[in-house]
Amino acid sequence: MDTSTSLEDGGPTAARAPADRGSKPRPSYGPSWVNVLASWMEGLPGPTWVSYGAGIAVGVLASSQQVGGNGTPAQQLLGVAYYGALPFATLALIHRLDGLASRALSAIRPMLQTDDDEFTAMRRELTIAPARPAWILLVAAFVMTIASFIIDPVGSQITGYAPLALALRTLWEGLITAIFLILIYHTIRQLRLISSTIDRVATIDLFDQAPLYAMSRLTSTTAIGLILLLLPSLFLLPTAADVSYVIISIGWYSLAVLIAGAAFILPLRGVHDRLVRAKRDLQGEVGRRLSATLVQIHDGVDARDASAMDAAHRALSTLIAERDLVNRIPTWPWSTGALTGFLSAVLLPIALFIAQRALGQFI
């Protein structure tokens, strides 16, 4: 049995997409202020990581003037570093995800029926956050920041601040919140676009899933990045915090893990379903041929036809090898490293947090 097939002929190893409903006109919009800021940083002299490093240094300096004195000295130091690095780390993650999304789109372009103009528009849509929602989120972030100061000035630790110091803190925390909100918005939008783009792929070959691994790298990096951005906040909990405060904090982290898991899995669910159907169809074909070959063997035994039995036996060995090969084909387009990295990012911090809390009881 010849199981080889191309993406064009849509043979037994290929999963077909639903009928194309026609491409919709893509909106035209300008880049958001976050994209402009990221482009400016990337355009500075020297490597991009130097620009982000310099930004983090400035952020840590600004954070050292804003972070309160709760917790142990180590926790205070971590807080200064964390809140100083957070806006630039978030900006760097957005830049990283945009690069991965662009490469993932290029990887599956041969599987898409699109011209150059549409492909350029698709790439822009994937990597550029629309300007209007970004401005709305910026305003919302400052409203949230100011509201939190007004509602709980003691908990926000702004009592006794001079007007200039209060303005600087409002500016800094509002900026952190705005960039993080835009990361969430842009990520949800980006993953939805990835999912809809995969749905446009005409056929997916069971034996050639390599182009799809670029998509799994994007979803796994998104998930791991979200976890790493929120992870340090777990270790900023005061050792003397009561149980309810710890439970609430762990609850927020658990919610972040659920969101990260959804980002890792949901965009690839459609292609997983198509691979499952293609694998099931191929398993059925192999099974029917195995049954027919066994009938031939029985007929050869009854007729005492040694040559027919020998030919049928060779066919049976080939079909069994094919069946075993098909059964081992994965139906989630993940590389082993992507899945391992995601599970490590989820489980290792939890183990470290438990160890930290346990040791805190004896120190």
Q: What are phi and psi of 15, to 5 degrees?
A: -100, 120
3-state class (DSSP) for residue 48:
helix
**216 close to 275: Cβ distance less than 8 angstroms:** no
Give pLDDT, residue 21.
43
Angle at 29 between CA 128 and CA 123, to 5 degrees: 40
Cα–chain-centroid distance for residue 245?
29
- CA–CA distance, 347 with 108 (Å, rounded to integer): 32
Residue 21, H or E segment: none
46: left (phi over 0), alpha (psi -120 to 50) or beta: left
pLDDT tens track for 234-244: 776 655 555 66
Give the tens place of pLDDT for each residue, 177-200: 899 899 989 888 988 888 888 888
Split the chain (363 residues) into runs of 10 and give each run's mean pLDDT. Answer: 41 56 56 89 86 86 65 72 86 90 88 86 90 93 88 71 82 88 89 85 81 84 86 67 62 77 86 90 94 92 88 92 92 77 75 64 55
Supply the pLDDT for residue 3.
41
What's residue 1's pLDDT? 42
pLDDT for the residue 149 = 81
Give the pair of three-digit tokens for residue 131.
């300007």
